[in-house]
Amino acid sequence: MTGLFITLEGGDGSGKSTQASLLADWLRESGYTVERSREPGGTELGLELREIVLHRRGPIAPRAEALIYAADRAHNIATKVRPAVERGEIVIQDRYLDSSVAYQGAGRVLDPTEVRDISLWATEGFMPNLTILLDLDEAIGRKRLDQARSAYDRLEAEHGEFHARVRAGFLALAAADPERFLVLPATDSIESIAAAIRDRVTVLLG
Ligand code: TMP
C-alpha cells in the first residue's frame, strides 16, 4: 500500500501552514497516519540549509540559491517523505518544487525548465499526488506579513514586482497541470478553504 504526498503552495502570507494543520488534524481524526514536512527545513540538515538560504547576510547567487533549495529537497524526500509514503502514510508538506520554479524561475528569472529539472534530479522524479495552490494578490500577502512579522527573510524582503512574478509563475504551473493542482483564492475564509481541500482529498482517497 502506498500513501499520498500532498503539497501546499502559494506566496508568503497565503495561509499554507494553517491549512496544512487543519488538513492533518482532519485526516488524523479520520484514522490516517499523517506526517508533516516543509521546505526548506523539513529535516535537521534542512534546518541548517534554511538558516543559510533565508537568513544569510550578504548575497547568494541565484543559481547557488536554487541549488540550496534543491539540496534541502533531495534530503527531505530521500530521508523523510518517500519512506513515509512507502509505509502508506499521508505526507502533507508546505512548499515543494513548484516553489523553486516560481521563486527561482519566475522570481529570480532562471530558466523554469532547468530549475524544475534540478529538483527532479534531486528527488528522482518524486511528484505530489495533489498540490493545493492558495492564490493571493502579492499586495495583500505583504499586508498580512506586515502584521505577523517583525523582520523579513531574504525572499520576503524582495520587492512587489518579484512577488507578482512569483504569483504569475504559480498560476502558470497550475494552468499547465490542472489534474495535480487545486487552486483556491487565499482571501476566502479559512473554513471554506479547508472544506474545499477536504472535498478534493476525499476524492483522492477514493
Ligand atoms: P516559508 O517556509 O516561510 O514559506 O519560507 C520559505 C521561503 O523560501 C519563501 O519565501 C519561499 C522561498 N522558497 C524558494 O524561494 N524556493 C523554494 O524552492 C522553496 C521551497 C521556498
Residue 134 near residue 193 (C-beta atoms within 8 A):
yes
List strand residue ranges (DSSP E) for 27-180, in order.
Answer: 34-38, 90-94, 130-135
Whether residue 131 is predicted with pLDDT greater than 90 in this model: the reply is: yes
Atom of ligand 1 nearest to the CA of 156: 10
The dihedrals phi and psi of 49, each to the nearest 5 degrees, come to -65, -35
Confidence at residue 150, expressed as pLDDT on a 0 to 100 scale: 83
Task: Ligand 1 pocket test: pick from 19, 81, 95 the residue with the most ligand atoms within 8 Å of its Cβ.
Answer: 95
Task: Kindly state the average pLDDT of the residues 120-127.
Answer: 98
Residue showing cell 505526507: 91
- CATH architecture of the domain 4-205 equals 3-Layer(aba) Sandwich (3.40)
> What is the tens place of the pLDDT at every residue in 12-53?
999 999 999 999 999 999 999 999 999 999 999 999 999 999
* Domain range summary for the chain, segments of one domain joined by +: 4-205
> What is the tens place of the pLDDT at every residue in 155-183?
999 999 999 999 999 999 999 999 999 99
Q: Is the pTM of this model over 0.95?
A: yes
- Answer yes or no: is the C-beta of 98 below 6 A from any ligand 1 atom: no
- Answer yes or no: is the C-beta of 156 below 6 A from any ligand 1 atom: yes
| Average pLDDT taken over every residue of the chain | 97
Whether residue 127 is predicted with pLDDT greater than 90 in this model: the reply is: yes
pLDDT-derived band at 70, boundaries 50, 70, 90: very high
Three cell numbers, residue 122: 534531486
